Structure 1
Amino acid sequence: MTSMSFIRKNSNARILIKESGMMAFKLLKLIKNPLKIINLIKLEYLEFRCNTNKRIDSQTKIYKELGLQRDKSIKHLNVILKQLGLNKYDEDYGMYSEHLIIFAGIALEKKNIDSVLEIGTYDAISTTILSALFENSKIYTIDLKNNDPIYKQTYSREDSEIRNRFNIARDKIIASRNNIEFIQMNSLAIMQTTLRKKKFDLIWIDGAHGYPFVCSDIMNSIALAHQSTIIMCDDIWESVDKSDQIYKSIASWETLNCLKYAELIDLYFFLKRVGKIHLNNKKFIAYFKLKDLSTI
């Protein structure tokens, strides 16, 4: 055996030992956490039943049914994100999800979007993307006042310094766009303001996700809609282990399906994210329009 082959053989052995050690370490971690093993098995089973490509195909069919093109919409979205200096679309990045692709599809195919209502501004990233996609439209975005107790106690804003930095960053983003009107109020009161006189072309519901808030937001959005209005709703859970008023609830799922059952709306559900890692935390985005009841 030459010296070079001896070195190569030993090097390969060291690599194999290292990799085996890392694998053993990971297995030990899993053994200590049986729930994680169960979740991994469940994840693989769900992926086996319907893999990522099938989920994307299913999602694409919904786009086509609505007169939209998913691939084309992603390309358009990335052009807008680049213009805004934001990251390219990746559903695993930050708050990015399928709703942005749907917005882009609507912007490409629907030419009658003059006014947009967003319920739930948060950090204004979705707001500014909406304002760029619909640059000739007026974007009205609603969120709680900075001193509202619910605002201060949610989304890691308990600390006053963190909250102030968050508010400043959000306000700076909003100020950078000339077609956004930021209204700070509780969305429960929307029908008591001058907004009640408006009819919006696109409404995006992304406020609190539990009872009674999202139910009120959905019904108020219907009151603010005309026959062609597109209404979308974020973070829809079909089932949950434990419900709360803000983050996780079946409230929107139950409300929208009741409206569909009553034949008041045409309703579609998109997967919020299509990747395998999201199967154990599956959420939907609703897309719905009012049915024509003028003949009744």
Structure 2
Amino acid sequence: MWISGDDHSHDQPGAPLVRWSTNSEIVAMDGVNLATSTAAPNVGNLSVTKSSRVHIGPKFVSVTQNLQNTEVVKDMPFPVYVWYIMKNSSRAEKLCCLVALLVLITCVTLIVFFAVQATNNPEDYIDIDPHEWNISREMWLAQNFSGIATTERFDPLRLVIIQHTVSPECPRFVLCAAELRTMQSWYIKYYNYDIPYNFIIGNDGRVYEGRGWGKPGAHALIYNRCSLGIGFIGDYREELTAHSRVTELQIKRAKMLLEEGVKRGFLDMDYSVLGAKDLIETASPGSNLYNAIREWEHYDHSNKWRNKTCEEMYGFPPVS
């Protein structure tokens, strides 16, 4: 047993030799080796299968989660890794992941949608035919312009004059409408009058209202008051490298317009069709278009109206 006393009791005669050390491997008491101290066990890997109670040291613990070596998880393909995480997640965690995924998909979809909308040509959304074929001034957004006199004195008209506009082609409604607005603005700015044609035929095959029925044009000098002026958008001179080609649809719509004029009483049933070059010094309507209208039923091959005034055309005395 231990002898009470000061710290130097081991110096007394007959006292047992004792080595005091907290880190000693062997403890000697009364000359007898009592025990060998060992370090606490270190568990590096533990594999448990189908067990709810595991004895580790002085305690029993319950194992409720499967543990795997981190190297195995690290080497998993990404889809397998995601499946593994989802499989071993709680229901609340799975729900949160699902909501986050739905939000992400929605955001990506909206970003792609608006990106596509931004890159699309805005003409795609307004190139919708607002009418089967006959486009009013309101439809192509013409400027209001007053001061156009009527031609009631010469109704119904007996002469139709075909011309070309010598302007860029417009294969779509929105382009034709824009071209007409540009054309109208130019005439108003430099000549102080409205677009000169009564009607304009676009390369899209639509008929656009210019000055319309019952109003004189500004397209053929002395014949303006007693003729219907129709302009075809484009430059139809065949001698040009890049000239416009008149289409069957354009011809068809022009004839539909003339038939409507007859039905509404604005055109005489026996009206004559001429190119502007038949009456005045000009290259209009271009040889390509000119050759086409010469095939029309109402084309006047005799050119009986050349050098006649409107009054002479209708048998009225000349205006003094």
Determine if the TM-score, normalized by the shorter chain, exceeds 0.5.
no
TM-score (norm 1): 0.27
TM-score (norm 2): 0.26
Larger radius of gyration: 2
Higher helix share: 1
- The structure, 1 or 2, with the larger RCO (C-alpha pairs under 8 Å, 6+ apart) is 1
